[in-house]
Amino acid sequence: MDNFERAFRELQFTTAYLEKKGNEFEDWFATIMEKRFPGDFMRVRPWGKAGDRKNDGYVRSKRWLFQVYAPNEMSARDALAKIDEDYNGALPHWKQHFDQWIFMHNSKQGLGPDVTAKLVELDKAGPPAIVSWGFEELRRVVFDLAPAELASLFGPAPGRGDMVNLGLDNLSPVLDHIAAIEPNPVPDLRPPPGDKIDRNMLSENVAILLRAGMSRVDLVRKYFRLQPGGKDQVAESFRQQYNKVRNAGLTPDEIFADLQRFTAGDGVPLPSRQSAALAVLAFFFEECDIFEREVADGGAA
């Protein structure tokens, strides 16, 4: 895949990893592993009173046994209790079958010191070896998948041809979708700084998507010339969503992923709609309605 498709797939993975919790995350993880290790990964589901015997998935050839933990909010106390319960509960049933016990979690920021210390303690007492998997480990598995498997996992991705062929008819449903909030009477109308991507510490993957979208901001301008008054309404929707996710403490790339989903809508949008969403995002990024124009005191935006 080229760097544009790769950047878009990275965004899709980040969005899914952040949004999926509990059983949904566990099912998503198992689907990924089935695609990466077909005929080798065994999905285990609870079965009557026996439950799953503390096994959320098993790779036979590598002798890996997984326990997946994906709460809405991870606390050290709950995570420590979960590790103790699941590790000690797995040993009577599976010890002869695995060499690595892998704690798969959904915390993109990593594990706290108490949880890390617990895993290190269990590893020293082994065998079996104790390993933790998080965002980066699962990301590596995902991007070992063939393009067809990525498409079956995430749905279609736009290509550069979709950006080139973007038309006004593609923009209309995207802009109508987000034009629902009264405009701010005092918008910031200064032109954006040329280094705005760097100022906001956005990754190269996001920069690739923004540059692709910027190639069609002329079309977004044309749309707003034909729809007088629509721009302020849409801009305010973007500003409010941006402030909401920024105040929630998301990283710049996570904010962009949320705004892309907000723009394209839920579900699995067609490549034409995803391309339109990138053009609209780039337009409002360039207009400085989303992300920071300047970074105060030399810190992060």
Contact 231, 189 (CB under 8 A): no
Fold of the CATH domain 3-9+19-142: Trna Endonuclease; Chain: A, domain 1 (3.40.1350)
The separation between CA 78 and the C-alpha centre of its own chain, rounded to angstroms, equals 24
**Chain centroid, CA 271 distance in Å:** 18
Containing H/E element for 104?
strand 100-105
**In tens digits, what is the pLDDT along the chain, a chain of 301 residues?**
888 999 999 989 988 998 899 999 999 999 999 999 999 999 987 654 444 578 889 999 999 999 999 888 878 889 999 899 888 888 888 888 999 999 999 988 888 899 999 999 999 987 899 999 999 999 999 999 999 999 999 998 888 888 877 877 877 777 776 554 344 444 443 444 556 777 778 889 988 988 888 888 888 888 888 876 778 888 888 888 888 988 888 888 888 888 888 888 777 678 888 888 898 888 888 876 677 755 544 444 4
How wide is the angle at C-alpha 157 spanned by C-alphas 152 and 160, nearest 5°? 150
pLDDT of residue 54: 81
Task: Give CB contacts under 8 A, 24+ apart, made by 221-225.
Answer: 221/283, 222/168, 223/168, 223/171, 223/172, 223/175
Q: Where in the chain is the domain with CATH 3.40.1350?
A: 3-9+19-142
Contacts of 130 (CB under 8 A, 6+ apart): 87, 100, 101, 103, 119, 120, 122, 123
Whether 8 and 210 have beta carbons less than 8 Å apart is answered as no
Q: How many residues does the chain have?
A: 301
Residue 227: exposure state from Cβ atoms within 10 A (0-12, 13-18, ≥19): middle
